[in-house]
Each structure stands twice: as structure tokens, then as C-alpha cells.
Amino acid sequence: MRRAPLPLALPAAVALAGALLLTACGTQRTGAQGSGPASPHASATSGESCGASATPGGRTTTDGAGPDTSTPGQAAPDGSSGGTATAREGVELVGPAGCPVLEITNHTAGTATYTVTYFLLSDTGTALTSAQTTVASVEPGRTVRRAVSLTDAGTLPGDAGKPTKVRIIKIRSVPSAEAPSETGPCPASGVRVYADRGDAAMGLRVVGLHLVNCGTHTYHLDGYPQLQLFDEEHKPVEGVRILHGGEAIALGTGADDTPRPLALRPGEGAHAGLVWRNTTEMGEPVNAPYVRVVAKPGAAAVTVTPELDLGTTGKLGVGAWQRDDASR
């Protein structure tokens, strides 16, 4: 399937597997997760033992470069390639042992929002839990930091113990003007648009798109959201048919209702389903982590990350906007 380049694209959203071999050094109280605008002068942590000890030059060494397949409660592979995260990737783990900090540099021409997913590992390499940090509004050319808390996982019984290491497993970035919003201040558009975590069974995938009217006026919808797919390098994915109705992929997905006009009052919401299969036969599998959603003609675009793994099927089903049950 042919992919055409996007004239102005963010760099590759790289799935890393660098395990940071760290030894805990006290209590870290600054949570790693958050979605507020990033400060270029943010300190590494508010904990006394970590303080502001992570400096731009204090890079820690990572090892491992292949895809990470660890799950909580299983030993995470260490990898063997060595080296640190590159400037092209834009995200590095810095700081002294036991005080990891995400350092994010925006090498693109536009303000970007980054979401980093990582494992907290025990000293034996067991993945205790996964966590996610969102750093919003990183301006072009700026470098910001966000502390990673090693205390979020608690302690597991047996040999697992407490987390002492961090392994980055996925990095996603979207233009801040198109970032999804589930909570926080109401966007200028007056609506929130975001994707849920979805459901997968026997190769069938269903992810919900959600729209909530957080503004002060009635919001009208009629029909299907408009979609554009992008790969990990933020290049448009072509050759995939976007079909109206979930029944084009499978029955009983809840995404096959007839489209009808909706008038959403403030506080009311609607949803539409994305349906696909990840069947792989002859040809090159297609993965599209990013989907740019336009709720209706003329609406502001929002880029969500449903992580489409379309296999070689070449098609994606999308349901019509339906009023949420709570809004009926």
C-alpha cells in the first residue's frame, strides 16, 4: 500500500525498549503523569534526594533497541544493542541513578504534545506496572523535563520488590492544536474529542471515538466523522478504504446504527466506533497509530492514537455519530 509524505510532519513516534539500570535513591514525590503545559525550566523532582540533580549533561546509559514485549509481572528483556536515545527521537532518560527524568526536545516546526509510555521495573528486570506521562505544549526547539516517580508501583510480594529501573516502551506526539482532550479546560472549539482504549477479541478491534459538548451552545452532528490515517512517521497512509458502518467489518460491534441528526446541548455527548481486523495474509501489514478526526465538515481536527493494526485487510469501518445513553 502506498504512503504519501506529509509536507509538515512530526518525527517518528518511536517505540523504544531502552532499560535504564538504576538503583533507587530515596523517595520521589513528584508524579510523572500529567498533561499541563511543560515548563522548560521544570526541576527533575520535588523529592529531597533527587532535587534538581538531573542536568542536561547527566545522561544515563540505556540498553536495548528492539520492540519491548514485557507485560506487568513478567521479566522484561534487557536487550543488547546499547547506546542512548538519539536526538532525532526527541525523548531521553536523564539524571542520576534512581532519579530518572524524561527530557523531551521538540525538533519539529510546530508546538507538540508528547505522550510517553514506560514500564517501572524491579532490580531483577520484572515489569511491575506500566505508566504514562503526557507533556503538553512543547514549543519548537525547546527542551523540557518531567520526573519519573519510582514509587508509583508500590511493592510486589516475592522477588519482584520495588521499582528501580525504567524502560520506555512507546512515544507518541501530536500537534498541540490537535491534541485530544478528555478532561481539563474546554477547548476553543467548545467540544472535547478523544478515543477510548477499545476492545480486542480474536483479531477484531473496536475503538470508540467520543465527543462531549463542553461549550455553551448546542452542537449539531449528522453522519460520520471524517478520518485520515497516519503512520509512525506522521505520513498519511493511503490505500486503506474507510467504510461507513461497522457491519462492513463485522456484525454486532455497535457501530452500525443509521446516521441521524443530533443536537447536543452543553454537557451532552456522542460516540462513533472504529472497527477493523488485524488479519495478515499476503502483502505488507499496515499500522496507523494516528487518526486525524474531523467531527463534521468545518470542525477543528483532533488527532487521536487508536494504534490501528490493520494487517493486510486494507479497510477500516467507522460508525455514525450516536447520542450517548446518558444524553438521551
Report pLDDT digits (tens) over 253-285.
999 999 999 999 999 999 999 999 999 998 999
Distance CA 16, CA 81 (A): 12
Q: What confidence tier does 327 reach under pLDDT thresholds 50, 70, 90?
A: low
Per-residue model confidence as pLDDT tens digits over 203-229: 899 999 999 999 999 999 999 999 999
Coil, strand or helix: which one is 176? helix
- pLDDT at residue 175 tops 70: yes
User: What is the share, in percent, of the chain residues with pLDDT greater than 90?
Assistant: 58
- 122-162: per-residue pLDDT in tens? 888 888 889 999 999 999 999 999 999 887 655 555 555 68
The per-residue pLDDT for 268 is 98
Q: Which domains does the chain have, with CATH numbers?
A: 19-176 (no CATH), 191-327 (2.60.40)
Please determine, for residue 196, whether its predicted confidence score (pLDDT) is greater than 60: yes
Q: Which residues contact 68 (CB under 8 A, 6 or more apart)?
A: 15, 16, 17, 76, 77, 119, 167, 169
- DSSP letter for each residue of 177-225: GG---SSSSPPTTSEEEEE---EEETTEEEEEEEEEE-SSS-EEE-S--
Average pLDDT of span 113-117: 96
Q: What is the mean pLDDT of the chain?
A: 78
Beta-carbon count within 10 A of 281 CB:
8
Per-residue pLDDT tens digits for 18-66: 333 333 333 333 333 344 454 443 333 333 356 543 333 333 323 332 3
